[in-house]
Amino acid sequence: MDAVDQLRQSFAAVADPSNAAPMAAYMKHIAPFVGVQADLRRRVVRAWCGQLSLQSADDVCSLISLLCREPEREFHYAAADVAAYWLRLLDASFIADHAATLLLQTPWWDSVDLWGSDVINPLCNRYECATTLWHWNGSGNRWLIRASIQHQRGRKQHYDVDLVFALCAPHVADSEFFVAKAIGWALRDIAKYQPARVQEFVAAHPQLSTVARREALRRIERGLLQ
């Protein structure tokens, strides 16, 4: 039994098949589901990873590729979980050479944001990845644009605010929902610690979409700062 078959067996042991259809419906049927909830999936994948012995970035990428070929969504999530587990084996070349392909593998907001938060964000924090981020930002692809804008989410007061603003600026008038949401959420995160700068950005870009503006100012208008 190979590693992916072992993971499938582990998923089957904990899955609730009655969850599969509602989970698929929630994700607009982008892929079928086994029926394993997120927290349980992470625990299963972590235990499974602990039984493997990967030695290089090539090993990690090979396993990720196998997982992405599986039809069920939990395996796509597991691919990002694997990269996060062996993050120490990855560097900027993973972002430059592999991340875009993975972001566009059966893409929807769930997988794009998972790769962003657990893999792209920490790697971009450790290594210089701006060239790749700008390439994504100018690609015209909504998922790559979203990933570039959100690549620092969750860093609290450690944002490179100028870079995030610069990545947002070309898309402020974009009515594409997932891009507008990405801008709004990135600005909202910054607003928690630097509200004046977000207010200045919003004021300087009157063409900012309604969705992005609403999300950007949500914390400020509700007084939910720091």
Q: Answer yes or no: do 218 and 111 share one domain.
A: yes
CATH number at residue 12: 1.25.10.90
Same domain, 80 and 111: no
Same domain, 46 and 110: no
For residues 79 and 12, membership in a common domain is answered with yes
Tell me if 137 sits within 8 A of 145, measured CB to CB: yes
Last residue of a domain, one of 63, 90, 117: 90
pLDDT of 219 reads 81
Identify whether 15 is part of a domain.
Answer: yes
Tell me, yes or no, whether 121 and 205 share the same domain.
Answer: yes
Domain residues for the domain of 17 are: 1-90
Residue 220: what pLDDT?
A: 87
pLDDT reported for residue 1: 61
User: Going residue by residue through the chain (226 aa), what tens digit of pLDDT does each one get?
Assistant: 699 999 999 999 999 999 999 999 999 999 999 999 999 999 999 999 999 999 999 999 999 999 999 999 999 999 999 999 999 999 999 999 999 999 999 999 999 999 999 999 999 999 999 999 999 999 999 999 999 999 999 888 889 999 999 999 999 999 899 999 999 999 999 999 999 999 999 999 999 999 999 999 998 877 655 5
**Distance linking the first and last C-alpha atoms of the chain:** 50
pTM over 0.85: yes
Confidence (pLDDT) at 154:
86
Exposed, middle or buried: residue 218 (CB in 10 Å: 0-12, 13-18, 19+)? middle
Q: At 110, list the tokens.
A: 């769930």
Q: Residue with structure tokens 């907001």?
A: 109
> Per the structure, how many domains does the chain have?
2
Burial class (CB in 10 A: 0-12, 13-18, 19+), 42: middle
pLDDT at 58: 97
137 and 197 housed in the same domain: yes
Contact 30, 51 (CB under 8 A): no
